[in-house]
Amino acid sequence: MKAFLGNILGALLRNVYSIISSMGTEPEQFSYYAMSIIVTTIIFKLLLLPMNLQQVKSTKKMGEIQPQLKEIQKKYKNDPQTQSIKMQELYKEHNYNPASGCLLLLIQFPIIIAFYSVFREPAKYAFTQPGFYEAMNKTFFWIKNLDNPDPYLWGLPLIAALTTYIQSAIMVQPGADPQAQATQRTMNYFLPVMIFMAAKGFAAGLALYWIASNTFTIIQQLISNRSLGKIKEEK
């Protein structure tokens, strides 16, 4: 499955590179390959956008009905059967499927893993012509070759960590369960540190992909939060 999806997504990267490289003179400090990583990531995120928006709506709705769920759990704590019936009635009333969020994640997970593999091994999935990838210009401003780790910790590793933190922070739902909020806040600090440590040793191209992906998600989430906030005000 990974190889199949990797070949499809690799073809996307290769075609994006072909289009960009045919548009004019390549900038000395901003290679076509770096541009292709950013543009391909944006296209990939747009393709997944319908599922991501559905997942955001599902998370928001869960946060909204959380107080009522807690009330049902407290009221029928000694009657599990009635508790289950009441919870199902609540889900039906609010048109909410508790399994929808997990299902969307399960669908996206192999696609995301395959896309990550494309940037980890671009010569295998995208640029398969012998010698083509090796001869390609891979500069990105201060980075001479995106195949190598960023030589500066304040560069892509730090930006990757910061965008990961911002993305996690804006995902916290005010109405969510306090325990879930506490877990999320812990992840807000733990995950960026993990990403920073990983980005120090990974190819800079992977860090660039991660930053582009995070930036898209942050913008998407901010727009989504604002739109859902307006809907609440109208109600």
pLDDT digits (tens, 9 = 90+) for 169-206: 887 655 555 666 677 777 888 999 999 999 999 999 99
Question: How far is C-alpha 22 from the chain's CA centre?
Answer: 29
* Matching residue, tokens 């993990």: 194
Q: How does pLDDT run across 44-72, given as a tens digit for each residue? A: 999 988 888 787 777 777 778 888 988 99
CA distance 137 to 29: 10
Number of H helices, E strands in the chain: 9, 0
What pLDDT is attached to residue 179?
65
> Model pTM?
0.83
Name the least confident of 13-17, 84-88, 128-132, 220-224.
220-224
Integer angstrom CA distances of residue 92 from 80, 87, 88, 99: 18, 9, 6, 13
What pLDDT is attached to residue 140?
97
**Does the pLDDT at position 211 exceed 90?**
yes
